[in-house]
Amino acid sequence: MDDGPSVRSRAISNALRLGVRPFLHYLPGHATSIRTARSTVDAASLLLRHSPHVRVESLNDPLPDDEDGRPIRGEWIVPRAPSEKHTAEEHAAEKREARKRAAEEHAPGAVLYLHGGGYVVCSPRTHRPITSRLALDTGLPVLAPRYRLAPEHPFPAPLEDAVAAYRWLLARGVPASGIVLAGDSAGGHLSAALTGELCRQGLPSPAGLMLFSPWVDLTCELSMGAQSRARDPYISAASARRIARLVVGPTGFEDPRLALLTCAWTEMPPVLIQVGGAEVLRTEAEAFADALRRAGAHCDLQIWKGQMHVFQILNRVLPEASAAMREAAHFVRTVTGRPVKRTKAGKRTKAA
């Protein structure tokens, strides 16, 4: 489709460009400002409702045979059965049984979703609009781990937590052939890094990899070069570079697990990348898709005309975001071998 962004999309983008982007661009890259940003983002997340047709269970479960004894924390999002009621009494019963169900359910598959936020902010709660929609549209449970954040816990701490979450799914009977790794922004980087790390550790490969607006290049060389051409409503390449220095910590950018564009992407599962046509990270997504294809991987790159960074989180508001989530669900169902419920196709037209 060749039509441009919807009226709602343009209005939200303009509001972000005028109100949020200046704040993020000049936000200092130190621990105090990060804590302030976390509180602000957590408060704002209360305004984004998730689907009432899923149940969200808190997770604090140990990983069997884990040497450091750190439990898997986060959320287990499960689509409700059509007959499930929503009375207060049943809701209380659900909360009492949440941990038991999460530990005992052997799902035929699952989505492991790693939230974005520059590795420094956000949480499973802030990304419920995406995780709940994935659970509802795919019929699969979604595991959204609460991985450790920088600057308190620089890389590779988030990657270690992501590996532990994947092992948690395997230990509870979810086959690797039914697991799709997914993430947005920094969570997209983490999901891709996790795919490579699973190969290095000899763990079974997932069924697919799905990335929304991935932050591929933490050195920010590509985004700095694209800054003058992009019309990103709120992401600044300069602010991303400041944050990246906190993420990598004292070891800098030498860790090869950070460098997604130079990894040897062999035996990759199918990949779906969705990126907004207006965002500064579009160049990174294109470069990553090229790298995967050169390595022989199947990669579907969708560039959504005029859309902003992680526009999918507004899927209850934006028609483009809702269509993108349907495309995402179609990908998950396809790679996991589940029945496909095909609906109206998304806009795949590249932005000018």
Q: What tokens were used for 111? A: 């989505």
309 catalytic? Reply is yes
Please check whether residue 273 is in contact with residue 211, taking contact to mean a CB–CB distance below 8 angstroms.
Answer: yes
Query: Which candidate in 279, 284, 286, 327 is catalytic?
Result: 279
254 catalytic? Reply is no
Based on the number of CB atoms within 10 Å of its own CB, is 241 exposed (0-12), middle (13-18) or buried (19 or more)? middle
Residue environment code for 161-172, b if the CB has 16+ CB neighbours within 10 A, otherwise e: bbbbbbbbbeeb
185 catalytic? Reply is yes
**Share in percent of the chain as helix, strand, coil (round to 5):** 45, 15, 40
Give CA–CA dist 184/280, Å, rounded: 14
The pairing of beta strand 54-61 with beta strand 72-79 = antiparallel
Q: How many residues does the chain have?
A: 352
Query: Which candidate in 50, 127, 309, 330 is catalytic?
Result: 309
The pairing of beta strand 299-304 with beta strand 142-145 = unpaired
Give CA–CA dist 11/5, Å, rounded: 10
The pairing of beta strand 179-184 with beta strand 110-114 = parallel
Q: Residue 151, preceding bond cis, omega within 30 degrees?
A: yes
Query: Which candidate in 9, 13, 123, 185 is catalytic?
Result: 185
**DSSP string covering 180-197:** EEEEETHHHHHHHHHHHH
**DSSP string covering 71-125:** PEEEEEEEEPPTT----HHHHHHHHHHHHHHHHH---S-EEEEE--STTTS--TG
Please check whether residue 76 is in contact with residue 102, taking contact to mean a CB–CB distance below 8 angstroms.
Answer: yes
Active site residues: 185, 279, 309
